[in-house]
Amino acid sequence: MYWTEIDTPIDPLLLVGDETGLHRLHFRPYEPPAGLARDDEVLATVVTQLREYFAGERVDFDLALQPVGTPFQTKVWTALRDIPYGRTTSYGELAAELGQPTASRAVGLANGRNPLAVIVPCHRVIGANGSLTGFGGGIERKRWLLDHERAVLAGRSGAAVSAGLW
Protein backbone atom coordinates (compact mmCIF):
# COMPACT_ATOMS: atom_id res chain seq x y z
CA MET A 1 0.00 0.00 0.00
CA TYR A 2 1.10 3.53 -0.80
CA TRP A 3 -0.13 7.06 -0.29
CA THR A 4 -0.03 10.40 -2.04
CA GLU A 5 -1.68 13.79 -1.69
CA ILE A 6 -3.49 16.06 -4.08
CA ASP A 7 -4.36 19.72 -3.59
CA THR A 8 -8.00 20.43 -4.45
CA PRO A 9 -10.43 23.34 -4.07
CA ILE A 10 -11.90 21.56 -1.04
CA ASP A 11 -8.50 21.18 0.69
CA PRO A 12 -5.78 18.57 0.20
CA LEU A 13 -6.87 14.95 -0.05
CA LEU A 14 -4.86 11.93 1.04
CA LEU A 15 -5.10 8.90 -1.25
CA VAL A 16 -4.19 5.37 -0.17
CA GLY A 17 -3.94 2.49 -2.61
CA ASP A 18 -1.76 0.04 -4.46
CA GLU A 19 -1.38 -1.48 -7.90
CA THR A 20 -4.84 -3.08 -7.61
CA GLY A 21 -6.64 0.21 -7.03
CA LEU A 22 -7.60 2.99 -4.66
CA HIS A 23 -8.52 1.84 -1.15
CA ARG A 24 -9.20 5.09 0.72
CA LEU A 25 -9.51 8.84 0.30
CA HIS A 26 -9.19 11.09 3.36
CA PHE A 27 -10.12 14.71 3.99
CA ARG A 28 -8.03 16.93 6.25
CA PRO A 29 -7.06 16.65 9.01
CA TYR A 30 -5.04 13.51 8.39
CA GLU A 31 -1.62 12.05 8.92
CA PRO A 32 0.12 9.96 6.26
CA PRO A 33 -0.43 6.34 7.26
CA ALA A 34 2.37 4.91 9.38
CA GLY A 35 4.31 2.18 7.66
CA LEU A 36 3.23 3.17 4.15
CA ALA A 37 5.54 4.76 1.60
CA ARG A 38 4.62 7.77 -0.47
CA ASP A 39 4.40 6.82 -4.14
CA ASP A 40 2.99 9.39 -6.53
CA GLU A 41 3.36 7.08 -9.56
CA VAL A 42 1.18 4.21 -8.30
CA LEU A 43 -1.72 6.63 -7.73
CA ALA A 44 -1.02 8.95 -10.69
CA THR A 45 -4.18 7.94 -12.57
CA VAL A 46 -6.31 8.75 -9.52
CA VAL A 47 -4.64 12.15 -9.17
CA THR A 48 -5.16 12.89 -12.88
CA GLN A 49 -8.84 11.99 -12.78
CA LEU A 50 -9.45 13.99 -9.60
CA ARG A 51 -7.76 17.03 -11.18
CA GLU A 52 -10.00 16.63 -14.23
CA TYR A 53 -13.07 16.37 -12.00
CA PHE A 54 -12.20 19.51 -10.06
CA ALA A 55 -11.43 21.35 -13.33
CA GLY A 56 -14.91 20.47 -14.61
CA GLU A 57 -13.52 18.20 -17.33
CA ARG A 58 -14.65 14.84 -15.93
CA VAL A 59 -18.10 13.70 -14.83
CA ASP A 60 -17.37 9.98 -14.37
CA PHE A 61 -14.40 8.24 -12.81
CA ASP A 62 -12.82 5.24 -14.51
CA LEU A 63 -10.66 3.84 -11.74
CA ALA A 64 -9.94 0.52 -10.10
CA LEU A 65 -11.47 0.83 -6.64
CA GLN A 66 -10.80 -1.47 -3.70
CA PRO A 67 -12.96 -0.26 -0.80
CA VAL A 68 -13.27 -2.61 2.16
CA GLY A 69 -16.68 -3.02 3.75
CA THR A 70 -19.54 -5.37 4.52
CA PRO A 71 -21.61 -6.83 1.68
CA PHE A 72 -24.39 -4.30 2.44
CA GLN A 73 -21.96 -1.37 2.50
CA THR A 74 -20.49 -2.51 -0.80
CA LYS A 75 -23.99 -2.72 -2.28
CA VAL A 76 -24.71 0.86 -1.17
CA TRP A 77 -21.36 2.14 -2.47
CA THR A 78 -22.03 0.52 -5.83
CA ALA A 79 -25.45 2.19 -5.97
CA LEU A 80 -23.88 5.56 -5.17
CA ARG A 81 -21.86 5.33 -8.38
CA ASP A 82 -25.14 5.16 -10.32
CA ILE A 83 -26.35 8.57 -9.08
CA PRO A 84 -25.91 10.86 -12.10
CA TYR A 85 -23.38 13.68 -11.94
CA GLY A 86 -25.00 16.87 -10.69
CA ARG A 87 -28.09 15.08 -9.36
CA THR A 88 -29.11 14.11 -5.85
CA THR A 89 -31.21 11.43 -4.23
CA SER A 90 -32.38 10.86 -0.68
CA TYR A 91 -31.40 8.08 1.69
CA GLY A 92 -34.94 6.71 1.45
CA GLU A 93 -34.94 6.76 -2.35
CA LEU A 94 -31.61 4.97 -2.39
CA ALA A 95 -32.89 2.35 0.07
CA ALA A 96 -35.95 1.78 -2.15
CA GLU A 97 -33.73 1.40 -5.23
CA LEU A 98 -31.79 -1.27 -3.34
CA GLY A 99 -35.06 -3.14 -2.71
CA GLN A 100 -35.03 -2.30 1.01
CA PRO A 101 -37.39 0.67 1.40
CA THR A 102 -37.27 0.59 5.22
CA ALA A 103 -33.46 0.64 5.36
CA SER A 104 -32.84 4.37 4.94
CA ARG A 105 -30.91 4.53 8.25
CA ALA A 106 -28.75 1.58 7.25
CA VAL A 107 -28.13 3.26 3.89
CA GLY A 108 -27.15 6.43 5.76
CA LEU A 109 -24.70 4.52 7.94
CA ALA A 110 -23.15 2.78 4.93
CA ASN A 111 -23.00 6.11 3.11
CA GLY A 112 -21.18 7.62 6.08
CA ARG A 113 -18.58 4.85 6.01
CA ASN A 114 -17.79 5.31 2.32
CA PRO A 115 -13.98 5.25 2.18
CA LEU A 116 -13.85 6.82 -1.30
CA ALA A 117 -15.83 10.06 -1.02
CA VAL A 118 -15.94 12.28 -4.13
CA ILE A 119 -15.10 9.31 -6.40
CA VAL A 120 -17.94 7.23 -4.95
CA PRO A 121 -20.30 10.22 -4.76
CA CYS A 122 -21.87 10.00 -1.32
CA HIS A 123 -22.16 13.80 -1.44
CA ARG A 124 -25.09 13.32 -3.86
CA VAL A 125 -27.27 11.83 -1.10
CA ILE A 126 -29.36 14.36 0.80
CA GLY A 127 -32.14 14.39 3.36
CA ALA A 128 -35.72 13.64 2.31
CA ASN A 129 -36.57 17.31 2.80
CA GLY A 130 -33.70 18.42 0.53
CA SER A 131 -31.36 19.33 3.37
CA LEU A 132 -27.64 18.70 3.17
CA THR A 133 -27.11 16.12 5.86
CA GLY A 134 -24.21 13.96 6.91
CA PHE A 135 -20.96 14.09 5.01
CA GLY A 136 -17.65 12.90 6.42
CA GLY A 137 -15.87 15.79 4.77
CA GLY A 138 -18.22 18.35 6.30
CA ILE A 139 -21.32 20.09 4.98
CA GLU A 140 -19.33 22.94 3.39
CA ARG A 141 -17.38 20.47 1.24
CA LYS A 142 -20.60 18.67 0.36
CA ARG A 143 -22.18 21.97 -0.69
CA TRP A 144 -19.08 22.85 -2.74
CA LEU A 145 -19.13 19.50 -4.56
CA LEU A 146 -22.84 19.76 -5.40
CA ASP A 147 -22.49 23.39 -6.51
CA HIS A 148 -19.44 22.49 -8.60
CA GLU A 149 -21.31 19.73 -10.42
CA ARG A 150 -24.33 21.93 -11.05
CA ALA A 151 -22.07 24.70 -12.33
CA VAL A 152 -20.30 22.33 -14.71
CA LEU A 153 -23.64 21.07 -16.02
CA ALA A 154 -24.79 24.67 -16.45
CA GLY A 155 -21.68 25.38 -18.52
CA ARG A 156 -19.85 27.38 -15.89
CA SER A 157 -16.27 26.55 -15.02
CA GLY A 158 -15.18 24.86 -11.83
CA ALA A 159 -13.07 27.97 -11.23
CA ALA A 160 -16.25 30.05 -10.91
CA VAL A 161 -17.44 27.70 -8.18
CA SER A 162 -14.16 27.75 -6.27
CA ALA A 163 -14.11 31.54 -6.44
CA GLY A 164 -17.57 31.61 -4.89
CA LEU A 165 -19.20 32.96 -8.05
CA TRP A 166 -21.83 30.22 -8.26
Under DSSP, the state recorded for 65 is B
- What's phi and psi for 6, nearest 5 deg? -140, 130
Choosing from 122, 145, 146, 152, which is the catalytic residue?
A: 122
SS3 percent helix, strand, coil of the chain, rounded to 5, is 35, 15, 50
122 catalytically annotated: yes
Q: Are 107 and 95 in contact, with CB atoms under 8 Å apart? A: yes
Coil, strand or helix at 6 = strand
Neighbours of 7 (CB within 10 A): 12
Q: What spatial distance separates the first Cα and last Cα of the chain, rounded to whole Å?
A: 38
For every residue of 11-42, DSSP letters joined together read: --EEEEEETTEEEEEEESS--PPTT-EE-TTT
C-alpha 35/C-alpha 150 separation (Å) is 40
* Catalytically annotated residues: 122
